[in-house]
């Protein structure tokens, strides 16, 4: 943390070295020093970088980041504090599974009328370890060159660390390949959702007159996805990641939503693919986002692959092949669908303009599609909201109703 400018005696002399109270130790032996923020202790995880300049609270509460340490390339993290409305976990007070946060500058006092808690106190309340004072540009370059890194993040106020033990722990961690993390962040019980999006000077609304019933499978779902579906006129029933096809279809849904989530899709697919296949066979309209997109691809016979550095940020250009439009999207994934593996009868609908990777698919002749990015995250700010209308139009069409313009 920064020394107080109002108390010169508390500041070190220019020749004094500030002892690091936090370390980021990579599996290749790289040791990065800094000052600890958030909770104390240590955690092993995969280090990624996120290029967004806003939304740090939403990022750190996105269950898709479970098992990861987020490096923020934007230097001023924590400057607007935190509040009780911007968390994305279903349980507002729970940790999303993110293991740590890496930031460049010391946290300043919050400067925003919506702030209700200092960022450091908020990190502590959620059990998130942080390290400040890191050259995040250099760390990002390291990840871009060498790939997503396994690492240990450690915070000890006394600055005493067993660096060799931390190196061994980082090098010995198995990583995210083969890791099913969706079960860790998913709801354990079925519940319903009615909250609609936040409106200036009004707050969140409530859906009281739904026209459709959508069942959402929670692999790590975000609140704003549910809000946007509720705004479209949906009664929402949320089921655990382990729900079977029988569980889903017994609710007689008008549509099924496959949520975002963390971990290796192939591992989660061991139990989820069969359920998705049952929905496909039943002809129920279906929409998937992020991990839900990957799970749908697996159910259709496609494959997923681990990415070199992943896509994490709010500035990713994606082209919708259906309309030709380019959207500025929010992304968070370290695995991707292999577009070349999609079988006949499945079309690639969206593609990344950064690297050409697959970002969407649809099933020919069936009301089923998915995207790799987060249309609810509003980086454009609303470039991708049409996808929710597109999904509900498939529901309307399936029920013989008139479609709405996208």
pLDDT in tens, 242-265: 999 999 999 999 999 999 999 999
Whether 177 is in a domain gets the answer: no
Q: Name the residue among 102, 103, 104, 94 with its Cα closest to residue 153.
A: 102
Whether 406 is in a domain gets the answer: no
pLDDT tier at 95, thresholds 50, 70, 90? confident
Whether 3 is in a domain gets the answer: no
Indicate whether 186 and 168 sit together in one domain. no
In this predicted structure, the answer to whether residue 184 has a pLDDT above a threshold of 80 is: yes
Indicate whether 162 and 235 sit together in one domain. no
Residue-wise pLDDT for 221-239, tens only, equals 999 999 999 999 999 999 9
Of 13-22, 42-51, 75-84, 187-196, the range with the lowest mean pLDDT is: 13-22
In this predicted structure, the answer to whether residue 150 has a pLDDT above a threshold of 70 is: yes
Burial class (CB in 10 A: 0-12, 13-18, 19+), 66: buried
pLDDT tier at 390, thresholds 50, 70, 90? very high
Helix axes 265-282, 291-299, angle to 10 degrees: 60
Indicate whether 136 and 269 sit together in one domain. no
Indicate whether 248 and 364 sit together in one domain. yes
Indicate whether 42 and 156 sit together in one domain. yes
Indicate whether 208 and 273 sit together in one domain. yes
Span 337-364, average pLDDT: 98
CATH number, position 373: 3.40.50.880
Q: Name the residue among 341, 342, 361, 343 with its Cα closest to residue 351.
A: 361
Q: Which one of 293, 333, 350, 374 is the catalytic residue?
A: 374
In this predicted structure, the answer to whether residue 11 has a pLDDT above a threshold of 70 is: no
Q: What is the pLDDT of residue 7?
A: 37
Whether 14 is in a domain gets the answer: yes
Annotation says 374 is catalytic: yes
Of 54-68, 83-97, 346-360, the range with the lowest mean pLDDT is: 83-97
Spell 11-49 as b/e; 16+ CB within 10 A means b: eeeeeeeeebbbbbbbbeeeebbbbbbbbeebbbbbbbb
Indicate whether 249 and 390 sit together in one domain. yes
Across the chain, mean pLDDT equals 94
Whether 161 is in a domain gets the answer: yes
What tokens were used for 4?
A: 């107080």
Q: Which one of 290, 311, 333, 385 is the catalytic residue?
A: 290
Q: Which one of 58, 88, 327, 376 is the catalytic residue?
A: 376
Whether 281 is in a domain gets the answer: yes
Q: What is the pLDDT of residue 380?
A: 77
Indicate whether 159 and 190 sit together in one domain. no
Instruction: Identify whether the C-beta of residue 21 lies closer than 8 Å to the C-beta of residue 36.
Output: yes
What tokens were used for 49?
A: 């970088």
Instruction: Identify whether the C-beta of residue 348 lies closer than 8 Å to the C-beta of residue 296.
Output: no
Residue 153 is part of which domain span?
Answer: 8-172
- How many independent structural domains does the chain possess? 2
pLDDT tier at 188, thresholds 50, 70, 90? very high
Indicate whether 32 and 166 sit together in one domain. yes
Q: What is the pLDDT of residue 167?
A: 98
Q: What is the pLDDT of residue 9?
A: 39
Of 115, 143, 172, the residue that ends a domain is: 172
CATH number, position 54: 3.50.30.20
Whether 365 is in a domain gets the answer: yes
Of 130, 147, 172, the residue that ends a domain is: 172
Q: What is the pLDDT of residue 197?
A: 95
Span 90-111, average pLDDT: 90
In this predicted structure, the answer to whether residue 337 has a pLDDT above a threshold of 90 is: yes
Beta bridge partners of 298: none
Of 126, 148, 172, the residue that ends a domain is: 172
Whether 236 is in a domain gets the answer: yes
197 three-class SS: strand
Indicate whether 253 and 337 sit together in one domain. yes
Indicate whether 343 and 271 sit together in one domain. yes
Helix axes 223-231, 386-398, angle to 10 degrees: 50
Indicate whether 193 and 128 sit together in one domain. no
In this predicted structure, the answer to whether residue 401 has a pLDDT above a threshold of 70 is: yes
């Amino acid at each position: 943390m920064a020394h107080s400018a109002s108390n010169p005696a508390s500041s070190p002399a220019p020749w004094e070295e500030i002892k690091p109270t936090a370390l980021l130790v990579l599996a290749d032996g790289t040791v990065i020093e800094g000052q600890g923020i958030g909770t104390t202790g240590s955690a092993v995880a995969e280090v990624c970088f996120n290029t967004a300049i806003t939304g740090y609270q939403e990022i750190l509460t996105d269950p898709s980041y479970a098992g990861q340490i987020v490096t923020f390339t934007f230097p001023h993290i924590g400057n607007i504090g935190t509040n009780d409305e911007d968390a994305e976990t279903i349980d507002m007070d729970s940790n999303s599974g993110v293991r740590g946060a890496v930031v460049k500058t010391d946290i300043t006092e919050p400067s925003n009328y919506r702030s209700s808690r200092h960022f450091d106190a908020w990190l502590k309340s959620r059990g998130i370890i942080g390290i400040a004072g890191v050259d995040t540009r250099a760390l990002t370059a390291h990840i871009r060159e060498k790939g997503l890194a396994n690492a240990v993040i450690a915070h000890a106020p006394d600055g005493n660390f067993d660096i060799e033990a931390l190196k061994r722990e980082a090098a010995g961690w198995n990583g995210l390949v083969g890791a099913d993390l969706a079960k860790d962040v998913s709801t354990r019980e079925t519940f319903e959702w009615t909250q609609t999006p936040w409106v200036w000077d009004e707050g969140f609304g409530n859906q009281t007159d739904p026209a459709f019933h959508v069942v959402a499978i929670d692999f790590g779902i975000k609140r704003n996805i549910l809000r946007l579906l509720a705004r479209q006129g949906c009664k929402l029933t949320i089921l655990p990641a382990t729900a079977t096809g029988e569980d889903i279809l017994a609710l007689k849904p008008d549509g099924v939503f496959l949520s975002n989530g963390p971990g290796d899709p192939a591992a989660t697919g061991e139990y989820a693919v069969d359920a998705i296949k049952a929905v496909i066979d039943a002809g129920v309209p279906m929409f998937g986002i992020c991990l839900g997109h990957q799970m749908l691809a697996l159910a259709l016979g496609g494959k997923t692959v681990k990415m070199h550095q992943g896509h994490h940020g709010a500035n990713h250009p994606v082209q919708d092949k259906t309309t030709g439009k380019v959207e500025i999207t929010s992304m968070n994934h370290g695995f991707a669908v292999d577009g070349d593996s999609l079988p006949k009868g499945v079309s690639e609908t969206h593609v990344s303009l950064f690297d050409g990777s697959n970002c969407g698919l649809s099933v020919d002749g069936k009301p089923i599609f998915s995207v790799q990015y987060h249309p609810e995250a509003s980086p454009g700010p609303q470039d991708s909201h049409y996808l929710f209308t597109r999904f509900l139009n498939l529901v309307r069409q399936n029920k013989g109703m008139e479609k709405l313009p996208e």
